[in-house]
């Protein structure tokens, strides 16, 4: 990742209600040199197919028992 890369953090744990719309809004506005770091309390497996279909790459890591990070970027 170069120094011009911008990362926006979206903590789904802080969203009241269903976070899907917020996640879609964040990733749909990404430029080629930007990414979103999604923080969630569980592995968002259903999101992976949506990301694949919409042309996004993602890398997932579990950082605690109840904390998952998903780095999402355009292909």
Q: Is 3 helix (H, G, I), strand (E, B) or coil?
A: coil
Beta strands 6-11; 67-74: pairing state = unpaired
Where residue 3 falls (left for φ over 0; alpha for ψ -120 to 50; beta otherwise) is: alpha
pLDDT beyond 90 at 3? no
Q: Which helix (H) or strand (E) holds 36?
A: strand 34-40
- Domain 6-74, CATH among 1.20.140, 3.40.50, 3.30.70, 3.30.110: 3.30.110
Its pTM stands at 0.90
Contact between 38 and 48 (Cβ < 8 Å): no
Average pLDDT, the chain: 93
């Amino acid at each position: 990742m170069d120094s011009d890369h911008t990362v926006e953090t979206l903590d789904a744990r802080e969203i009241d209600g269903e976070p899907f719309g917020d996640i879609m809004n964040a990733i749909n506005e990404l430029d080629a040199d930007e990414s979103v770091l999604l923080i969630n309390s569980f592995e968002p497996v259903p999101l992976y197919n949506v990301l694949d279909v919409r042309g996004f790459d993602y890398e997932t890591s579990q950082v605690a028992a109840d904390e998952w990070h998903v780095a999402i970027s355009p292909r």
